């Protein structure tokens, strides 16, 4: 039974024989190991070609920007998982990654799709980027959709990470239509939403990477890859300064039961 669209049984990422391992056409041991950075390798694996210096530096900056974000739910899930199963580092990392979605780490992909819609609208209408952004953002609001990549609960006036990424893109000479689209969103949002929403890091990552030539469909992988490094750091600390059960106990102490109970029952959770 046929499943999917591909009939030809081929892939173009890696192959090997007893003497040589080939990755994207390069000899892994002779050409890549010791010669390129891990960021170079990420770009090569995903995009299929070695990055330029500007592309590597842009991807590197986004990975650094999004790697660590404190005790967010995904990190708490990972640390509590390791506390319960200390032999399963891989399970704890997986638990943290499985806790990443539209609210945590998925917004970069959603923002990238928003920016692509704006760029496509501008190309079709030829009315200018501000008009295209207004059209797309107005449609999002009519559909009661959030404006991904804009606004932040803590960084109200400015997200320093977003500002820095856009500045880096400008300094590298790669800021282009996607950055223009993101800046157009900032300009049109107050008139549509009723208040300013500044670009956050999840808006800056896609606009700078898309301008650098990174594939839209791989955007979600950037924060996932970056956060994996942070999860490993948290899990190393969990092994020496365990807070997994403290987090669990904190939840029990903070969240009260308000369901039915027998008369006279007094909860004493521990």
The pLDDT confidence band at residue 14, using thresholds 50, 70 and 90, is very high
Q: How far apart are CA 159 and CA 147, in angstroms?
A: 16
> 52: buried, middle or exposed (CB in 10 Å: 19+, 13-18, 0-12)?
middle
Q: pTM of the prediction? A: 0.91
CB atoms within 10 A of CB 192: 17
SS3 label, residue 7:
coil
Mean pLDDT of 32-41: 98
Mean pLDDT of 30-48: 97
The answer to whether 32 and 39 are in contact (CB under 8 A) is: no
Looking at per-residue confidence, does 2 or 211 come out higher?
211
Helix, strand, coil percentages for the chain (3-state, nearest 5): 60, 5, 35
- The residue written with tokens 């950055």 in the block is 179
Q: pLDDT of 130-187, one tens digit each?
A: 999 999 999 999 999 999 999 765 656 688 999 999 999 999 999 999 999 999 999 9
Task: Assign domain 107-218 to its CATH superfamily.
Answer: Cytochrome P450-Terp, domain 2 (1.10.230.10)
Total H helices, total E strands in the chain: 11, 3
Q: How far apart are CA 177 and CA 118, in angstroms?
A: 10
21-23 β-sheet, strand order: 14-16, 21-23, 26-27
Residue 1, token pair as written in the block? 């039974």
The answer to whether 252 and 269 are in contact (CB under 8 A) is: yes
Q: How far apart are CA 12 and CA 157, in angstroms?
A: 45
SS3 label, residue 196:
coil
Q: Taking the domains of the chain in order of start, what are their residue ranges?
A: 10-51, 107-218
Q: How far apart are CA 39 and CA 212, in angstroms?
A: 14
SS3 label, residue 216:
helix
The answer to whether 63 and 234 are in contact (CB under 8 A) is: no
What's phi and psi for 105, nearest 5 deg? 75, -10
What's phi and psi for 227, nearest 5 deg? -70, -25
Q: How far apart are CA 148 and CA 205, in angstroms?
A: 12
Check residue 50 and report its DSSP letter: P
Q: How far apart are CA 186 and CA 184, in angstroms?
A: 5
Q: pLDDT of 89-115, one tens digit each?
A: 999 999 999 988 777 777 899 999 999
Question: Is the pLDDT confidence value at 257 over 60?
Answer: yes
């Amino acid at each position: 039974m046929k499943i999917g669209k591909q009939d030809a049984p081929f892939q173009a990422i890696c192959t090997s024989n007893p003497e040589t391992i080939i990755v994207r056409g390069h000899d892994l041991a002779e050409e890549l190991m010791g010669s390129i950075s891990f960021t170079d390798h990420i770009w090569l694996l995903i995009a299929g070609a070695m990055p330029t210096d500007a592309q590597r530096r842009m991807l590197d900056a986004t990975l650094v920007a999004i790697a660590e974000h404190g005790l967010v739910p995904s990190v708490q899930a990972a640390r509590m998982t390791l506390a319960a199963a200390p032999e399963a580092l891989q399970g704890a990392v997986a638990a943290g990654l499985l806790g990443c979605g539209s609210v945590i780490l998925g917004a970069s992909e959603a923002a990238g799709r928003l920016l692509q819609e704006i760029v496509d609208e501008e190309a079709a209408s030829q009315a200018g980027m501000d008009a295209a952004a207004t059209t797309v953002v107005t449609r999002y609001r009519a559909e009661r959709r959030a404006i991904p990549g804009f606004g932040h609960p803590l960084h109200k006036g400015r997200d320093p990470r977003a500002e820095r990424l856009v500045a880096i893109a400008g300094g590298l000479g790669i800021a282009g239509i996607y950055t223009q689209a993101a800046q157009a969103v900032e300009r049109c949002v107050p008139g549509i939403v009723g208040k300013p929403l500044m670009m956050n890091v999840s808006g800056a990552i896609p606009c700078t990477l898309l301008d650098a030539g990174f594939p839209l469909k791989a955007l979600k992988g950037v924060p996932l890859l970056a956060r994996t490094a942070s999860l490993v750091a948290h899990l190393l600390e969990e092994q020496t300064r365990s807070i997994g059960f403290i987090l669990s106990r904190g939840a029990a102490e903070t969240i009260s039961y308000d369901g039915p109970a027998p008369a006279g029952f007094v909860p004493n959770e521990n």
